[in-house]
Amino acid sequence: MARLAHGIVAAAIAVAGCRRVEEPLAQGRLAVASDSAAALAPPPPSLPKATELLNVPGSPYQTTLYVDADAIELLTPSAAYRLAAGEEPRRIVLDLGFAATVTSHAYLYWSKGAVWRAERRSQGSKAPELVFRLAEQPQRLVANSAGTQIAWLEHLPGDTYAIAKRTGGGVKRLYTSSGSIDALTLRDDTLFFVERPSAAGWRMGRVPLATGKVTFSGEKAGRWPAMLAAASELVFYEGTRREVVALALDLEHERVLAEDFVCSPLAAASQVYCANLDGIFQLASGGPRPLVVGTRRPVTSLAADERRVVFVSDAGEPGEDRLSVSSISLDAPR
């Protein structure tokens, strides 16, 4: 949902198959309803207007959004789209695949047996730089804002998974799971992940990059969260229970933010935002508050910072791959 420090916020997306995980962040405790009931809060007198920023060919189901003070970044398997205020949208052709991430200055991605860095502001004029060799394609890359700490999720032979990091000139494996790891994100210098150690249930894990000591939450039954956002708390959607949940970063305490409410995809900054077929909502005091009602098209990616909520939606006609990127200003008069 990026940890990417200093304000980069990403959409939360699963890593199973060809999906990605968000790396969002915020300072302070998430501002959400103290009452977990999901009865909708009264809408404001007028809803903020969603402004379309981009409408291009391509699958909306293979994208990730990142937002910071500098720009909105849309990652697709074959290109990055940079949407900066006062500039025309810019398309940068890169072999990003499905495991790319964004730092404060660069796109970071795997291609042809290596991890590469391409400058965000170069307008494609500067060739990507080799960061290090990595033979197998990772399921997900994560990095801190400076790009100095890089970790990834590996899919190993025998259908098992491992989390590894870059250490100097080598690679260190931090944790190997005999089951499945379905989401991974970085917040500050700590990795958080969703693991299914067996067919019976799932749990959250955390591993500091410095120590490599792995700790877990208690195991839960039911369907595992497919999305994980790391802000001042971990935020995820439990589809089996139709609950939006915040879990403390020490994995010791959780609270329900909304009940009987669909939240997929989600994003977190100082507030939590949810998309579903009824629209886009902010989880606020009094219940989910609508920002956009009736998007009409499926929302596939969601990102937010303190100033705006950005989303990707399916803009294609039947049989057509086309995506749209829109933004909602949180500073707009209501």
* CATH code for the domain in which residue 53 is found: 2.130.10.10
Q: Is residue 334 in a domain?
A: no
Residue 319 lies in domain? 9-329
Q: Phi, psi at residue 162, to the nearest 5°? A: -145, 155
Instruction: Provide the domain count of the chain.
Output: 1
Residue 4 included in any domain: no
The pLDDT value recorded for residue 44 is 57
Give me the residues of the chain with pLDDT under 70, please. Answer: 1-45, 123-124, 295, 332-334
Residue 131 lies in a domain: yes
Structure tokens, 245: 């949940």
Looking at residue 293, its pLDDT comes to: 86
pLDDT score recorded for residue 21: 36
Looking at the domain assignment, is residue 162 inside a domain?
yes
Residue 1 in any domain: the answer is no
**Coil vs helix vs strand at 195:** strand
Global pTM reads 0.84
φ, ψ at 66 (rounded to 5°)? -130, 145
Residue 332 confidence (pLDDT) = 52
Q: Under 8 Å CB-to-CB from 83, ≥6 apart: which residues?
A: 53, 54, 71, 72, 73, 74, 89, 325
In the prediction, which pLDDT does 142 show? 96
